[in-house]
Amino acid sequence: MTSNQVTHKKHGLKALNCLNLEKVSFSWPGGNKVLDQIDLSIPKPGLWMIVGRNGSGKSTLFRLISGILKVNSGKFYCSYKTALMFQNPDHQLLLPSCRSDLLLSAPKNLSRNAVKESIESALDQVGLSGMGARPIHTLSGGQKQRLALASALVSKANLLLLDEPTALLDPISQTSILEIVKRLSSRPRNPITSLWITHRIEELDYCDGAAMMKSGRIDPWCSGLELTHRLK
Ligand SMILES: Nc1ncnc2c1ncn2[C@@H]1O[C@H](COP(=O)(O)OP(=O)(O)OP(=O)(O)O)[C@@H](O)[C@H]1O
Ligand SMILES: [Mg+2]
């Protein structure tokens, strides 16, 4: 049993999902070591934020967690179903309408009715009810980002990897995405686990824990408030 599963047991949580990295290192071919013996696990479901300078390896870490890249050395274990979300929703919304795009994310083993329900429920959860038929090019930037979030929900992901999801949004859309992810991550039934990369210090107010990446390492989790003080 991993240390994370022990933590889950101790807190009486049913979920056995686990992300555990021990002394994980990664270098791009011909490049410097981007991740240098990283230790990382997520103590419990919630909204966990990572900050760090440009080039400190945050997006590379997400690519490893999502399985796009393989670690060079160290122990890596992830039992979550992951969904990546980027700064620019235009990089991940592919089909012409909201519903057709969401259909693409639905697990293949679901019945037509279950898929329909799942799409309606996801649109509802991100505040886009009744917008299934809307052409994606008519959505605002904030609505597109919420649709990307709906797509992660339809895929049944239980670990959201949010790579600066609000970087291109105005303050109102930023708050809306933060509040939706916070709600999904703290709901009593099946809370989603979210890892959120940010350069916007004010977003740390929403997190359940925060960690700093620097020089290829990641610090242990601390409170958002503590990291905010340190960064100021
Ligand atoms: N596809 C790639 N091939 C080679 N090197 C890469 C590639 N992608 C990223 N890197 C390098 O890996 C290092 C870490 O980049 P990464 O994108 O993970 O940083 P980051 O912390 O996400 O930065 P930012 O805050 O600017 O998004 C950088 O030196 C970058 O140039
Ligand atoms: Mg990045």
Tell me the ligand closest to 61's alpha carbon: 1
* Mean pLDDT value across residues 217-222: 97
pLDDT of residue 103: 95
Contact 59 CB / ligand 1 (< 6 Å): yes
Q: What is the pTM of this model?
A: 0.91
**Contact (CB, 8 A) for 43 and 209:** yes
* Alpha-carbon span 179 to 101, nearest angstrom: 23
Q: pLDDT band for position 16 (50/70/90)?
A: low
The Å distance, Cα 201 to ligand 2 centre, comes to 16
* Alpha-carbon span 135 to 157, nearest angstrom: 24
Exposure string (b/e) for 213-232, b if CB count within 10 Å is 16 or more? beebebeebeebeebbeeee
Q: Cβ–Cβ contacts within 10 Å for residue 192, how many?
A: 21
Contact 35 CB / ligand 1 (< 6 Å): no
* Mean pLDDT value across residues 49-78: 96
Contact 216 CB / ligand 1 (< 6 Å): no
At 199, list the tokens. Answer: 């350069």
Q: What is the pLDDT of residues 91-123, one digit of tens each?
A: 888 788 999 999 999 999 999 999 999 999 999
- Pocket-testing residue among 24, 34, 68, 164, ligand 1, by greatest number of atoms within 8 A of Cβ: 34
pLDDT of residue 94: 79
Per-domain boundaries in the chain: 44-68+80-231
**Contact (CB, 8 A) for 99 and 132:** yes
Q: pLDDT band for position 230 (50/70/90)?
A: very high
Q: What is the pLDDT of residues 143-168, one digit of tens each?
A: 999 999 999 999 999 999 999 999 99
Q: What is the pLDDT of residues 72-96, one digit of tens each?
A: 999 999 999 999 999 988 888 878 8
* Architecture in CATH for domain 44-68+80-231: 3-Layer(aba) Sandwich (3.40)
Q: Cβ–Cβ contacts within 10 Å for residue 32, how many?
A: 9
Does the structure show a pLDDT above 70 at 9? no
Backbone angles phi and psi of 101, in degrees to 5? -65, -40
Contact 57 CB / ligand 1 (< 6 Å): yes
At 59, list the tokens. Answer: 């997006």
Does the structure show a pLDDT above 50 at 14? no
pLDDT of residue 13: 44
* Mean pLDDT value across residues 192-211: 98
pLDDT of residue 115: 97
pLDDT of residue 92: 81
Q: What is the pLDDT of residues 128-140, one digit of tens each?
A: 999 999 999 999 9
* Mean pLDDT value across residues 211-223: 96
Helix %, strand %, coil % for the chain, to 5?
A: 40, 25, 40
